[in-house]
Amino acid sequence: MLGGKEVLLAEPRGFCAGVDRAIEIVERALTKFGAPIYVRHEIVHNTFVVNDLKAKGAIFIEELDDVPEGATLIFSAHGVSKAVQQEAVRRGFSIFDATCPLVTKVHVEVAKLAKEGYEFLMIGHKGHPEVEGTMGQLSEGIHLVEDEADVAMVAPRQTEKLAVVTQTTLSVDDAAGIKAAIRARFPSVREPKQQDICYATQNRQDAVKILAPQVDLVIVVGSPTSSNSNRLRELAARLGTPAYMVDNAGELKEEWFTDTARVGLTAGASAPEVLVNEVIARIKQLGAVAVRKMDGIEETIKFPLPKGLKIDEATGLEIEVRKAPETGH
């Protein structure tokens, strides 16, 4: 049991701007069009968020075959391939794209450089929906490298025009190692001006780097499918601090807190603050008496909603996109 011990809260933690926007898109679509609203893939990788939206009338599917004719369909924050996008348009669904604008930015870069004749090495995790979406921007010429061993084996058709792109939610340090291996093998490789790993991933990892050495245990709130949440747990463990990831407070084990003076707490970009608060309440039951927030970067970034779901902040009224009136008759 904890005895008069402290919880140290990482700053920043939890929802990023892309997750906020994606969830809001589903909620507004439900309000505006009514249930059911179809969502391709979990809108974000969080069990609580997905169950909450299911209860409000969202239906999560993986295959477009499972979406009925005329339905409203939302793409998840992780993005989709060109093939999925085109098929959804062909089937005539009413589509809202909740792909994070920072993922879309990577898609746009891939399409632009491909037109200039570039081939790509994509650093990411096989089977992750963002990797499938980004690689699926092209029908060929984009090769997945998961680690240094893959870099040694990869066989692009040419090396004069080769560019690197990455998944947005990787370990910053692992990606740096893989990029170094790429540079060593392909010295003229083109890298993005600003790295593809996003600000939220970077900031949450930076916060864990400050947090982990100050505590005896790190708890990460996040779902097992969440790449960025897994990376936070892994990072704390690499820094030598025992670390566990939990989907909710019910998963905390009492024995983790034996002889634990300070508990560090953070949350992945898809994990809501309500779950963090439940974890804090449970740790208090186990003996914590104080909760202290770390100093950290304040994130103010916010992404606009898609047309058709926008609301005027000042009036609270929906912004309608109207066609110009027809004249001359």
Secondary structure class of 7 (helix, strand, coil): strand
Which of ligand 0K2, ligand SF4, none sits in contact with 121, Cβ below 5 to 8 A by type?
none
Classify residue 157 by burial, with Cβ atoms within 10 Å: 0-12, 13-18, 19+: exposed
Q: Which residues contact 99 (CB under 8 A, 6 or more apart)?
A: 75, 76, 77, 78, 79, 80, 107, 133
**CA 244 to each of CA 51, 55, 187, 217: distance values in angstroms, whole numbers, following the listed order:** 23, 28, 39, 8
Closest approach, Cβ 18 to ligand SF4, in A, equals 2
Active site residue 116: no
Which of ligand SF4, ligand 0K2, none sits in contact with 227, Cβ below 5 to 8 A by type?
ligand 0K2
Which of ligand 0K2, ligand SF4, none sits in contact with 17, Cβ below 5 to 8 A by type?
ligand SF4
Strand order in the sheet with 162-166: 142-145, 119-123, 162-166
List the catalytic residue out of 6, 11, 109, 130: 130
Closest approach, Cβ 77 to ligand SF4, in A, equals 5
12-31 residues near ligand SF4, rule: CB under 6 A: 16-19
Rounded CA separation 252/173 (Å): 28
Nearer to ligand SF4, 101 or 141 (CB): 101
Residues binding ligand 0K2 (CB under 6 A): 18-19, 44-45, 77-78, 100, 103, 130, 168-169, 226-229, 268-270
Rounded CA separation 237/218 (Å): 8
Closest approach, Cβ 257 to ligand SF4, in A, equals 29
- Binding span for ligand SF4 by CB under 6 A among 10-18, 132-140, 180-188, 238-246: 10-18
Rounded CA separation 13/220 (Å): 9
Measured from each CB, the residue nearest to ligand 0K2 is: 226
Phi and psi torsions of 67, nearest 5°: -105, 125
Phi and psi torsions of 71, nearest 5°: -75, 160
The closest of 220, 212, 219 to 239, measured between CA atoms, is: 212
74-113 residues near ligand SF4, rule: CB under 6 A: 77, 100, 102-103
Closest approach, Cβ 99 to ligand 0K2, in A, equals 8
Dihedral sign from CA coordinates of 12, 17, 22, 26? positive
Nearer to ligand SF4, 81 or 169 (CB): 169
Strands 119-123 and 94-97: unpaired
Nearer to ligand SF4, 14 or 264 (CB): 14
Q: From the list 169, 171, 203, 260, which residue makes contact with ligand SF4 (rule: CB under 6 A)?
A: 169
Query: What residues line the site for ligand SF4 (CB under 6 A)?
Result: 16-19, 77, 100, 102-103, 168-169, 198, 200-201, 228, 269
Provide the annotated active-site residues. Answer: 130
